Structure 1
Amino acid sequence: RLLYSKSKVYVYRSMDTKDRISGFICIVQGPDDQYYIAWTPEALLSEQDKESYVQVELCPSFYTDHANSISSISGYAFCKPIGEVLSLLIHPPSLTQWYGSVILNMADGSSLAPMWFHDSESASSMLGIARHWGGDELLVWLAHVVSIERSINDSNCYELRGSKTSHVTLSRLNTPSASAIITNPSDITHTATVASSGAQVSDASGSAPDVLESALSGNMDPLLSQMKELRWGILERFSRITQTVKDAANSFIETPMGRQVAPYIPPSLGGTQSASGSLVKEYEGARIYLAKWAAQHIIAQQHEDGEHRQGPVSVWEEWVTEAGDLGSFEVVSTDKTANLPRPIRTQPVLTAERWFAFFESSSGEMDAEFRLVADPDTVRRAVFAGGIEEDMRPLVWKYLLEIYPWDSSEKERKEIDKSNAEEYWMLKDNWLSDAKLRDSADFIEQSSRIEKDVLRTDRTLPLFATDSAFGGSDEANLAEHGLPGSSASLEKMKDILMTFHYYDKAALGYVQGMSDLLAPVYSVYQDEPTTFWAFALFMKRMRPHFLRDQSGMQDELATMAQLVEIANPKLYRHLEECDAENMFCCYRWLLIWFKREFGFEDVLRLWEVLWTDYLTDRFVLFVALAILQRHADVMMDHLRSPEEVLKYVQDLGDSIDLNDALKGAEMCYYMVRHRVLSVERIR
């Protein structure tokens, strides 16, 4: 029987994120009544087994009423009798290691690979059920069936001393306290303090603090909650979308499904209305989780089979006739008969050699004034098709962002750089040297806002890591100000944003979230004048996204909805049924151009493609459309409410491949263009 389960426990084959294997850690009671600890990769489980694992994770007491048997213990990546486990080495999350790990040390002297608990991705965390780090939960569940002592020599090591009585009933609703589970080392007195936890250890006659509370207060870094706030704060700002949540509790409890699950409602939930409401929420969350399972399987299968289909089959391709008010009509033009262009996002990156070849004439001679000889569209196409080599990015970006005119000479470009630098330092000095301005309410407010935003932007990157020369350590600053420390790069970013605020104040000025758009640009140039002008020109096209009346984003979302309706009518109808056709699920994607969905390097590659305006200056909408297309079937099969759609879409970040998204976006553009032109020709 499957007694306990925790999803999204990874084994790392290497430090590359692509080499992380996701699986379940579980406690199993075998046919011989022995208890086993096992880890199973998700890929080895059937869909039925996955559902059982998730169900047990969400409510372990279900195992007594449901036959959650395992197919075969030999199919697990490992399955060890708990009696063969000598100790557990537990490393909880900390400021330097976001995910905590557990290592099993075996009685034969071997150690198994570390298991990393990605709690934020697990089913119980997404549903708000999990209150503690997964490694500490595992420790408590093991303590039901075996005596555990914390090692005297290593506070992170827990030694297993022998099994308890068999036929133990495990239930989340009746978890014993640590006094009945964790045995304290006999040579530690009741006044001693465990080094890592800082908790008082009681003598044999006393009661120890709850093991989870003890572990979390000691093993968990005390600043973890503050770091979580830093990590997710900006995402929350971008997700402030007013929603109307439908109360389906009363109707749900009267349905056949509601009557089946009613006996499992915890008494602590109170009356029928609150209990049923809680159940509705849990079932909706479970649908999201199962949708993610399905998406992972489908996309993985597409990669294995090489079937990178750029969009699901739509009504234009499924039927040879369409029904209308006047009867059936034959479809004479489909996407398959249109001979759409093939995507060009398969070319190598633009290297220095290829770039400088654009300055040569057909005879191979370099232009005397070092002007660009090639047509600008040729350059844009090259960037669109393959991106830019890292060393060439600072130069080519100046053309894409229109710092340099496409026909400028080398002498003119040097003059532009000099003039831009002089103007920037003058703009900065205007506010820096104005004491009256610096005392104004506007400056104080903007300075505080910019500082908070900058100090929370991309802090995991070495470029933006804290420098002790600028205000001490993160720990000291968090304790004193609630914000991490600063660095030379971050201070420059503050000055750039403040300068931009007064440079652009007549139009808009600084708005929260712009720091997210500045960080990638700064990472490429790392000097104030060039970064400022590149950012200012970037903001010319992004300004509508930050208008205080939200009119710019409303236009983006309305256009997005139209594209979905054209490209995939079935998906659009499903979104209408879910009350999600307003496309708020794409809000964060479009607001900051997928800054939170891709890794930092991929963001640079994406933005330079979007800056080319090669097919359209709104290509970002087609990137979003391509991602929705890839997940359309899963969304239609599993999601039923606007909250589920929003949650599912916003959690796609780690699963999106940039090149697949760009190729898919290109195909979506050709498909939508074909359909629109077909309709226009008929009209």
Structure 2
Amino acid sequence: MKALRRSSTSSGPTSSPPPEAASSPPTTSSAWVHLRSLLVVASSSSSPSVSSPLAERGGLKSPWSRRKRKRVLSAKQWFRLFSANGRLRDGGAKLLKRVRSGGVDPAIRSEVWPYLLGVYNLNSSESERNITKAKNRKEYEKLRRQCRLLAHQRNSRNSLTAVDELDFTGIIEVPPSPISQEVNPNLYFHIEDMKQLDIIEEEEDKTDTESSDSESSDEEDSDNVPLHSVDAEEEPKFTRTASVRDDFSSSSRTTEDFSTWQRIIRLDALRTSPEWVLHTLKQAEVSEEEASQAASAVGLKDYDHLDACMVYHAARLVAILEAYAVYDAEIGYCQGMSDLLSPIVAIMEDDSVAFWCFVGFMRKARHNFRLDEAGIRRQLKIVSRIIQCKDSHFYKHLEKLQAEDCFFVYRMVVVLFRRELTFEQTVCLWEVMWADQAAVRTGIGLSAWARIRLRAPPTDDLLLYAIAACVLQKRKLIIEKYSSMDEILRECNGIAGQLDVWRLLDDAHDLVVNLHDKI
């Protein structure tokens, strides 16, 4: 899919495939590439949505039953969940139950999401969270400095190439890059200054390590709940800033990779649709001067067609995505990641908190952006298996159309329904999904869910059950009217605005109840 293709293979703005490419029949060897190109085509002539209910629900209670759909976690309920020392009273089980049942009140999303995404431990006290927040802010600032350093190093090499034939050994003037202006637009660097910046960073790392030793020991003493260790074991080992410095400074290829990511990030940030973003009041009222300063700091250009709030939003996307590319150099940046970050930036006004929420989100979603696409293929197989177990007749029809691999839901998998749902629907789905993943991640298992009388176990793959439910809702239309995978693909790409997210979650939950032990 060109719009979501690995950015390191793209050298310019993404464009939709020509109509003839979309209509020509794929060969066996090119079917996968053909499919990827089709996934960006949103057919304006999609057939009307025809829903078909899932099979009998088996009589099990759904946490998204009609009487609970509007019972979001309110601000009043949120504050009641905490004890006097700022700790969640039951280790977060009730919080996850409430979010799982009805989502979160928009007014408190910025406070709740860091818990759902693992930024704060569910069993942490207020003082422990303050320590975590301070540490996270320092590390985010290090990552941003590293981004600027990489830009300076690249500009320095370009300058050295340009003056290679000149006879002087003094100071080399580096033309200020857009990112360097964030520090000082009139900076000049000796060649040795680059080494000194690395030395300063290393000394800061040592200082931070020494100062954090006592803090971490206090945290370990006060946080003796086993859930924390479960969480730490299950988190993937991302590349941290110390090793990232070595990776980027020792390899010109890696530095060029960052430059490529940086360029694609800026293009994608400016393409964000205003219809996909609902800002907080503070962000919506940002002035043109503030937006211009933010854009200049991260090198954004050609944004005159955008409102100030969207320019400011794009600048924040660039800063956070660049930092993530350094943080997780194995993944770097791929097109589609900006779609996942955009709602978080719209909700979170603090860049540091938004960054760490995104890190928590990407803990699982990062597999969607691996170069080998193994993560996506695994998820498509699970969707296929869910459909096969739930409706064998429908699955046989998909086999007849050579669509049983479910590649027609590729886009839904990669950007987690972002293109099919409105902003509010997207965040409702995501926070319910995050609550499930938090329950799995922190070890809140069968006993805890039994105590709160929630009959369906939490799952890491709620999104895949929701995707399968979406396809099953279209089963009658697909069986009666569609005779090719391309027709199913166009239907899936044309359902934006037609989905009831709570019905979708209700159906997904029923699939979990009936099939989780078979998948």
TM-score bracket, normalised by the shorter chain, equals 0.5 to 0.7
**Correspondence for 1:562 among 385, 397, 404:** 385
Alignment map for 1:259-298 (pairs within 5 Å): 292-293=47-48, 295=49, 298=50
Judged with a 3 Å threshold, the aligned counterparts in structure 2 of structure 1 residues 372 and 571 are, in CA distance, closer, same or farther, namely: same
1:385 and 1:236 mapped to 2: Cα distance?
A: 41
1:357 Cα deviation (Å)?
2.0
2:427 and 2:327 mapped to 1: Cα distance?
A: 25
Does 2:503 correspond to 1:660? yes
CA contact (8 A) 2:62 2:506 kept: no
Q: C-alpha deviations, 1:167-191, integer Å up to 9, x for none?
A: xxxxxxxxxxxxxxxxxxxxxxxxx
Normalised by the size of structure 1, how large is the TM-score? 0.48
Partner SS, residue 119 of structure 2 = coil
Aligned counterpart, 1:341: 61
Aligned counterpart, 1:19: none
CA contact (8 A) 2:261 2:332 kept: no
CA contact (8 A) 1:561 1:581 kept: yes
CA contact (8 A) 1:384 1:612 kept: yes
Does 2:272 correspond to 1:457? yes
Judged with a 3 Å threshold, the aligned counterparts in structure 2 of structure 1 residues 352 and 482 are, in CA distance, closer, same or farther, namely: closer
Aligned counterpart, 2:373: 550
Does 2:350 correspond to 1:527? yes
2:476 and 2:97 mapped to 1: Cα distance?
A: 32
1:385 and 1:233 mapped to 2: Cα distance?
A: 39
CA contact (8 A) 2:272 2:314 kept: no
1:482 Cα deviation (Å)?
9.5
1:481 Cα deviation (Å)?
5.5
Does 2:238 correspond to 1:444? no
CA contact (8 A) 1:241 1:584 kept: no
**Correspondence for 1:592 among 412, 415, 420:** 415
Alignment map for 1:210-609 (pairs within 5 Å): 244-245=25-26, 292-293=47-48, 295=49, 298-299=50-51, 310-311=53-54, 313=55, 338-346=58-66, 347=68, 348-359=71-82, 367-434=83-150, 435-437=152-154, 440-460=255-275, 461=277, 463=279, 469=289, 484-485=305-306, 487-505=311-329, 507-609=330-432
Alignment map for 1:60-75 (pairs within 5 Å): none
CA contact (8 A) 1:341 1:670 kept: no
2:17 and 2:65 mapped to 1: Cα distance?
A: 33
1:242 and 1:564 mapped to 2: Cα distance?
A: 27
CA contact (8 A) 2:420 2:495 kept: yes
Judged with a 3 Å threshold, the aligned counterparts in structure 2 of structure 1 residues 482 and 380 are, in CA distance, closer, same or farther, namely: closer
Aligned counterpart, 1:82: none
CA contact (8 A) 2:433 2:463 kept: yes
Judged with a 3 Å threshold, the aligned counterparts in structure 2 of structure 1 residues 419 and 235 are, in CA distance, closer, same or farther, namely: farther
**Correspondence for 2:466 among 623, 628, 637:** 623
1:243 Cα deviation (Å)?
8.6
Partner SS, residue 395 of structure 2 = helix
Judged with a 3 Å threshold, the aligned counterparts in structure 2 of structure 1 residues 468 and 406 are, in CA distance, closer, same or farther, namely: closer
- Give 1 or 2: higher strand fraction: 1
1:389 Cα deviation (Å)?
0.6
Judged with a 3 Å threshold, the aligned counterparts in structure 2 of structure 1 residues 378 and 390 are, in CA distance, closer, same or farther, namely: same
1:242 and 1:638 mapped to 2: Cα distance?
A: 19
1:431 Cα deviation (Å)?
2.3
2:118 and 2:278 mapped to 1: Cα distance?
A: 29
Judged with a 3 Å threshold, the aligned counterparts in structure 2 of structure 1 residues 503 and 671 are, in CA distance, closer, same or farther, namely: same
1:368 Cα deviation (Å)?
3.4
1:241 and 1:376 mapped to 2: Cα distance?
A: 48
Structure showing greater Rg = 1
2:478 and 2:86 mapped to 1: Cα distance?
A: 52
1:621 Cα deviation (Å)?
0.8
1:598 Cα deviation (Å)?
0.6
Judged with a 3 Å threshold, the aligned counterparts in structure 2 of structure 1 residues 288 and 418 are, in CA distance, closer, same or farther, namely: closer
Judged with a 3 Å threshold, the aligned counterparts in structure 2 of structure 1 residues 431 and 598 are, in CA distance, closer, same or farther, namely: same
Judged with a 3 Å threshold, the aligned counterparts in structure 2 of structure 1 residues 512 and 236 are, in CA distance, closer, same or farther, namely: farther
The worse-fitting range, judged by mean Cα deviation, of 554-563 and 457-466 is 457-466
Aligned counterpart, 1:302: none
Partner SS, residue 418 of structure 2 = coil
Q: Name stretches of at least 5 consecutive residues in structure 2 with no aligned partner.
A: 1-12, 29-42, 158-254, 294-300, 440-457
1:379 Cα deviation (Å)?
1.7
Amino acid in structure 1 at the alignment position of 2:466: V
Amino acid in structure 2 at the alignment position of 1:430: Q
Aligned counterpart, 2:492: 649
Question: Between Structure 1 and Structure 2, how many residues are aligned?
Answer: 354
1:629 and 1:619 mapped to 2: Cα distance?
A: 15
CA contact (8 A) 2:278 2:423 kept: no
Amino acid in structure 2 at the alignment position of 1:400: L
CA contact (8 A) 2:344 2:358 kept: yes
Q: C-alpha deviations, 1:443-485, integer Å up to 9, x for none?
A: 432221110011111334474999754569xxxxxxx969955
1:482 and 1:405 mapped to 2: Cα distance?
A: 39
Q: CA RMSD in A?
A: 3.3
Aligned counterpart, 2:483: 640
The worse-fitting range, judged by mean Cα deviation, of 429-438 and 542-551 is 429-438
Judged with a 3 Å threshold, the aligned counterparts in structure 2 of structure 1 residues 234 and 632 are, in CA distance, closer, same or farther, namely: farther
2:506 and 2:17 mapped to 1: Cα distance?
A: 30
Q: Name stretches of at least 5 consecutive residues in structure 1 with no aligned partner.
A: 1-231, 248-286, 300-308, 314-334, 360-366, 473-479, 678-683
Q: C-alpha deviations, 1:326-347, integer Å up to 9, x for none?
A: xxxxxxxxx67x5433443442
1:640 Cα deviation (Å)?
0.3
CA contact (8 A) 1:454 1:515 kept: yes
Aligned counterpart, 1:20: none
1:659 and 1:462 mapped to 2: Cα distance?
A: 20
1:673 Cα deviation (Å)?
3.9
Partner SS, residue 340 of structure 1 = coil
Partner SS, residue 620 of structure 1 = helix
Q: C-alpha deviations, 1:108-164, integer Å up to 9, x for none?
A: xxxxxxxxxxxxxxxxxxxxxxxxxxxxxxxxxxxxxxxxxxxxxxxxxxxxxxxxx
1:654 Cα deviation (Å)?
1.8
1:647 Cα deviation (Å)?
0.8
1:433 Cα deviation (Å)?
3.8
1:387 and 1:573 mapped to 2: Cα distance?
A: 36
Normalised by the size of structure 2, how large is the TM-score? 0.62
Does 2:505 correspond to 1:672? no
Amino acid in structure 2 at the alignment position of 1:368: A
1:236 Cα deviation (Å)?
7.4
2:259 and 2:408 mapped to 1: Cα distance?
A: 34
CA contact (8 A) 2:258 2:325 kept: no
CA contact (8 A) 1:310 1:626 kept: no
CA contact (8 A) 1:345 1:386 kept: no
CA contact (8 A) 1:598 1:653 kept: yes
1:594 and 1:530 mapped to 2: Cα distance?
A: 23
Moved over 6 A (4+): 234-237, 240-243, 464-467
1:241 Cα deviation (Å)?
10
- Give 1 or 2: higher helix fraction: 2
2:123 and 2:263 mapped to 1: Cα distance?
A: 42
2:382 and 2:405 mapped to 1: Cα distance?
A: 10
Q: C-alpha deviations, 1:55-96, integer Å up to 9, x for none?
A: xxxxxxxxxxxxxxxxxxxxxxxxxxxxxxxxxxxxxxxxxx
1:500 Cα deviation (Å)?
1.0
